[in-house]
Amino acid sequence: MTEKLPLYQTLANTIAERIREGQWAVGSTLPSETQLCKLFKASRHTLRHALSNVERDGLILRHQGAATQVISRQSPRRFTQSFNSPADILRYPRDTYRINSIEEYVECDEHLARILDAPVGSSWYHIGGVRKHQGSNHIIAWTDIYILPQFAELTSDPEHAQIMVFEQIERRFAIKIDRAEVDVYATKADKLVAKRLSIEEGSACLVIIRRYFDANGTLFEATVTHHPEGRYTYSMELRSTRAN
């Protein structure tokens, strides 16, 4: 016997199907809640629950006081990373790789100084590229990596695309991470980031900034990564330690 779906899920499936069929195109907005309630003969409570599920599936984007926007016809594939130790937050799963499109020496300006917490005028080597999933080649992130100039040769390593840069530095130069800072915040993709990630300008992104320090407190690498909404999930499990 087939289990009957709740009304809100049935409605969510109907709305999602109409989006996939192109009734509401990507970039357009859905009718108002009042109009949708009338169209589907549903209560506002049921409709909102349904829209919440459609949004969770990555097809729409809702903001309080604004029209609901259609952002995709298909649910994006999600990749999940679980952490077993604090150090795991600094690396990506082994089934991802990076394709560099930027490799250049740069001088730290005022904007970059705020990100790196480094002196204006200091020299860095900038690596920029997309990170993809091996199985599907889906773009899951764009990353700007800033390392000290003496480490620039790492980009010629045959395994550079597969290995995290901080791991390359540790292996080749025997520099160990003594401390790491991680900042996480949400933003909207600007024109340049949107182009690099193949998403619409203004789309929601999760930004993660990581800074790596050696035993002397010297910053030797900083990364700024933009994750498009719905493309990647960080999962962390925390367990309490009971005293004996």
Q: Which domains does the chain have, with CATH numbers?
A: 7-70 (1.10.10.10), 79-236 (3.40.1410.10)
Structure tokens at 226: 């933009």
Look at residue 171 in the predicted model and tell me its pLDDT.
86
Look at residue 79 in the predicted model and tell me its pLDDT.
52
185 to 33, 59, 204, 208, 227: CA distances (angstroms)? 30, 22, 11, 7, 11
Residue 128 CA to residue 143 CA, distance in Å, equals 6
Look at residue 144 in the predicted model and tell me its pLDDT.
95
Q: What end-to-end distance do the CA atoms of the chain give, in Å?
A: 50
pLDDT in tens, 94-114: 667 888 999 999 999 988 888
Residue 117 CA to residue 115 CA, distance in Å, equals 6
Residues of the chain scoring pLDDT < 50: 1-2, 81-83, 85-86, 243-244
Look at residue 83 in the predicted model and tell me its pLDDT.
47
pLDDT in tens, 10-50: 999 999 999 999 999 888 899 999 999 999 999 999 999 89
Look at residue 243 in the predicted model and tell me its pLDDT.
46
Q: Taking the mean position of all CA atoms in its chain, how far away is CA 87?
A: 19
Look at residue 101 in the predicted model and tell me its pLDDT.
92
Residue 18 CA to residue 127 CA, distance in Å, equals 42
Look at residue 239 in the predicted model and tell me its pLDDT.
57
Look at residue 105 in the predicted model and tell me its pLDDT.
95
Look at residue 143 in the predicted model and tell me its pLDDT.
93
HSE-CB for 206 with a 13 A CA cutoff: 13
Look at residue 41 in the predicted model and tell me its pLDDT.
93
